[in-house]
Amino acid sequence: MTTSTTYLRIEHLRKSFGSFTALDDITLEVQEGEFICFLGPSGCGKTTLLRAIAGLEQQEEGGIVQAGRDISVLPPQQRDFGIVFQSYALFPNLNVNENIAYGLANVKMPRREREARVQALLEQIHLPDIGHKFPGQLSGGQQQRVALARALATEPGLLLLDEPLSALDARVRLHLRNEICSLQRKLGITTIMVTHDQDEALTMADRIVVMDHGRIAQVGTPEEIYQQPATEFVARFVGSMNLLPARVLDRHALMLGRKEVQTPIPMPDCADGTLGFRPESVTLHETPWGIDREQHLMMPAKLEQAQFMGAFVRLTMHLDDEVPLLQVDVPVEQHATLVHSPGQPLWLAVHQSALKFYPADTRECMR
Ligand code: ATP
């Protein structure tokens, strides 16, 4: 059994810009060696939180403890981190060796040792031969790898990554995603990355911190965040969940637009809310007769369009004029045998284990 040690503890952090609250009572623990992603829409406070950890923003309230040391009011140079920004931020007039060694400027180290450290870092980022090149001679992806090497030069205890991949094109981004992950695992360095890209967070993080308006909406593993979104906000932001406004009729019946459906999960005692389920949780049927009503929510719908996505087919289905169109992902073979043409009536079934309900008053998942 592995035991985890808390490496970074953030307690009741608050930060405002004028009358605007950017961080509102943030409390979070990060374990040693963990890869954490701060995920959320633009303006939710994720960069401000990262900058507060680095000492680049000073919070008004709350504290930060790193490796048992209270760093709450220390200036950045007295904290122990390496940082990579979205815009590479390499010095254009220094070559790659000098850029990486810059991180070691304040570290007393014999020249040979310094050169060996820089060369070892170049090898770790798989660019052993570019030490004498200047940033302007490198691609965006190469520059970002050099920025990563520079951030790691002092062997810091904490690596902070502020949207490091967003300036890169899609192919390079995917490649660098894997490289950052394998380097992080190899070094075992506690890492926090800011991103607004849910795919990045889901594929890279050990745990994701979803933020909304300066607050933490949910903390969990990628699986937890995807499968059990705790609030309607998280459900909307992560993945492409179908979210339908619903009126509660009784414990086992809902109105979706003008359609009444029976629910296999008991409804709370409230007037209305939002019903949620993922496109891949829906099964398609020509008739309702074979579907287990005790276990499934069933809806009649009409096909609007089908898009071939390679591994599956994404159907857009019309349930009712008063609710949004539904997305349903079906295996290619099922599409071939069952789906014929736009306007076709089909039955949708969602197993009770895949259903979420967010009452309108709390917006918090009731199961
Ligand atoms: P983005 O992905 O757009 O950077 P974010 O989640 O990282 O979003 P932050 O950069 O942390 O958001 O900013 C949170 C809020 O605080 C935003 O509304 C932003 O305008 C505001 N803000 C950030 N820095 C300052 C500042 N120095 N002065 C005033 N407002 C600021």
From ligand 1's centre to the CA of 298, what distance in Å? Answer: 44
Collapsed DSSP state (helix, strand, coil) of residue 21 = strand
Helices (H), the chain: 46-54, 96-102, 111-124, 140-152, 170-187, 198-204, 222-227, 232-237, 332-338
From ligand 1's centre to the CA of 161, what distance in Å? Answer: 16
> Atom 7 in ligand 1: which residue has the minimum CA distance?
47
Ligand 1 site residues (CB inside 6 A) read 17, 22, 40, 42-48, 196
Please give the model's pTM, rounded to 2 decimal places.
0.91
Q: Give the bridge partners for 69, in sequence order.
A: 66
167 with 120: CB under 8 angstroms?
A: no
Q: What is the tens place of the pLDDT at every residue in 231-282?
A: 999 999 998 899 999 999 999 999 999 999 999 999 888 889 999 999 999 9
Q: Which of 21, 37, 42 to mutate to test the pocket of ligand 1 (most atoms within 8 A of CB)?
A: 42
Please identify, by atom number, the ligand 1 atom nearest to the C-alpha of residue 41: 6
At 180, list the tokens: 């950052």
Asked casually if ipTM beats, i.e. exceeds, 0.85, the reply is yes
| Strand order across the 20-31 sheet | 20-31, 6-17, 61-66, 69-70
354: exposed, middle or buried (Cβ count in 10 Å: 0-12, 13-18, 19+): middle
From ligand 1's centre to the CA of 19, what distance in Å? Answer: 13
Q: What is the tens place of the pLDDT at every residue in 75-130?
A: 999 999 999 998 868 999 999 999 999 878 777 888 888 999 999 999 999 888 89
> Atom 20 in ligand 1: which residue has the minimum CA distance?
43
**CB neighbours of residue 321 within 10 Å:** 7
